[in-house]
Amino acid sequence: MASHKLIVVGGSPATGKTTLSKFLGDQTGIKRISMDDLKELFFDWGGYRDREWSKEIGRLAWPVFKKIVEMHLAQGESVIAEATFLWSDDALWVEEIASKHGAEIVQIWMTADPKVARERFIKRANTHRHPGHNDALEYVIEEFDKRFFCKQHADPLPVSGKTKIVDTTDLNAVNHEEILRWIQ
């Protein structure tokens, strides 16, 4: 049995990944690496412009995100990796680094009714979201409707280890303490 874990918190936008991963990090002391946090650092350093720039920053931040996650695993540390993880090669990467560093994979897959996630996304974009994401621009919602809010992304990454699907359609029904016990 592995002495350390790669805890993957993934799913569509506005499903509660950040809220849950912060809770888990605070409760366990496990280092949390967030793709959005990393992108926001890049925005703060290099500025922000438009949606295309936001996507470019994402493309630049992704290999850095992966390297930081792997760095912790290489040191025998558990790590919480928070990102959407919606692409097929994400599963390959997760399996590869977990195997390479002898880490147990624990996946928490966040999902919600697409209409509810869309409402949360709009509210978040117009309140506390870093402006570098350019989520508040009107043309972005059409892109996200096509990519994310047209169906429920309930399929987690096909990886070894244990997986828990968390439906956050009703945030009050999500039991963070139970999820904490489940990962331990």
Residue 93 sits in a domain of what CATH number? 3.40.50.300
Given its phi and psi angles, is residue 83 left (phi above 0), alpha (psi -120 to 50 degrees) or beta?
A: beta
Query: What pLDDT score does 50 carry?
Result: 80
Express as a percent the part of the chain with pLDDT over 70: 93
How many Cα atoms are found within 13 Å in the side-chain-facing hemisphere of 181?
3
Cβ atoms 57, 46 nearer than 8 A: yes
User: What is the spatial distance between Cα 65 and Cα 42, in angstroms, rounded to a whole number?
Assistant: 12
Distance, CA of 184 to CA of 182 (rounded, Å):
6
Q: Rounded to an integer, what is the distance from CA 47 to the centroid of its chain?
A: 23
pLDDT attached to residue 147? 78
pLDDT, tens digit (0-9, with 9 covering 90-100), for 110-154: 999 999 998 998 888 777 776 777 766 566 778 787 877 877 666
The confidence score (pLDDT) of residue 3 equals 86
Distance CA(171)–CA(175), nearest Å, equals 9
Please write the tens of the pLDDT for every residue from 51-74. 788 889 999 999 999 999 999 999
pLDDT class of 1 with cuts at 50, 70, 90: low
Do residues 15 and 111 lie in contact, with contact meaning Cβ atoms separated by under 8 Å?
yes
* Residue 140 vs residues 112, 133, 168: alpha-carbon distances, Å: 20, 10, 23
Residue 114 structural domain: 4-183
Rounded mean pLDDT of 80-108? 95
Q: Could you give the percent of the chain with pLDDT greater than 90? A: 68
Alpha carbon distance 26, 131 (integer Å): 26
The model's confidence at residue 27, banded by pLDDT at 50, 70 and 90, is very high
The pLDDT of 32-45, averaged and rounded, is 94
3-state secondary structure the chain: CCCEEEEEEEECCCCCHHHHHHHHHHHHCCEEEEHHHHHHHHHHHHCCCCHHHHHHHHHHHHHHHHHHHHHHHHCCCCEEEECCCCCHHHHHHHHHHHHHCCEEEEEEEEECCHHHHHHHHHHHHCCCCCHHHCCCCHHHHHHHHHHCCCCCCCCCCCCCCEEEEEECCCHHHCCHHHHHHHHC
Our count of domains for the chain comes to: 1
Q: Within 10 A of 128 (CB to CB), how many other CB atoms are there?
A: 7
